[in-house]
Amino acid sequence: MSNPVDRAETATIPLDRDLFMRTLIRELAGTLEDVVGLEDASGYISVVGTTIGESIDQSYRKALRIDKLSRAQVSDVLVDLKRRIDGQFYVIEESEQQIVLGNKACPFGDKVIGRPSMCMMTSNVFGNIAAENLGYAKVELQRTIAAGHGECRVVIHLQPVGRAKEIDGREYYSSPE
């Protein structure tokens, strides 16, 4: 047996605030999924995501000194906010009808795997920011790391027409002024 360590603070333990918080959120999401089911767990996480999305949207608008973000600014903000929390989102396509984003790394890291309800944070933050600035959004999570895909593909439909009416996704609307 190797030499014992005298004090806990010198022990090599893979634990820091970030890992603790990601693990905490993973376990909370898992407990919700087990107790109330995936759909209701996603609903609870959506409530939190909406509040966070509103706050982030206000922060960007204030920092950019504008009342509303353009479509190009919405794309930029969505990529930037994920970059700031260690995601690797990028724009695949942007048009009047939709913004398509890819992602190579989830901010929750491997803690998201097997916890699809955690993707409601992304859906609600993205949907809230897009809808508040552009009037409407329907977020389609086509592929997610949580579901075991190697990367994410998120489509934010900006108009409730065509394919957006038929796909499975969450709809978001701007708040009444």
User: What CA–CA distance (Å, rounded) separates 5 from 7?
Assistant: 6
CATH superfamily ID and name for 13-173: Trafficking protein particle complex subunit 3 (3.30.1380.20)
End-to-end CA distance of the chain: 68
Query: Comparing 26-30, 60-64, 164-168, which segment has the lowest mean pLDDT?
Result: 164-168
Q: Which residues contact 124 (CB under 8 A, 6 or more apart)?
A: 45, 46, 48, 49, 50, 52, 53, 139, 170, 172
Q: For the chain, what are the domain ranges? A: 13-173
Query: Comparing 6-15, 22-31, 139-148, which segment has the lowest mean pLDDT?
Result: 6-15
Q: How do residues 121-156 score in pLDDT, each as one tens digit?
A: 999 999 999 999 999 999 999 999 999 999 999 999
Contact between residue 134 and residue 158 where contact means Cβ atoms under 8 Å apart: yes
Per-residue pLDDT at 176 exceeds 90: no
pTM for the model stands at 0.90
Per-residue pLDDT at 165 exceeds 80: yes
User: What CA–CA distance (Å, rounded) separates 22 from 57?
Assistant: 23
Quote the pLDDT of residue 177.
66
Sorting pLDDT into bands at 50, 70 and 90, what band is 1? low
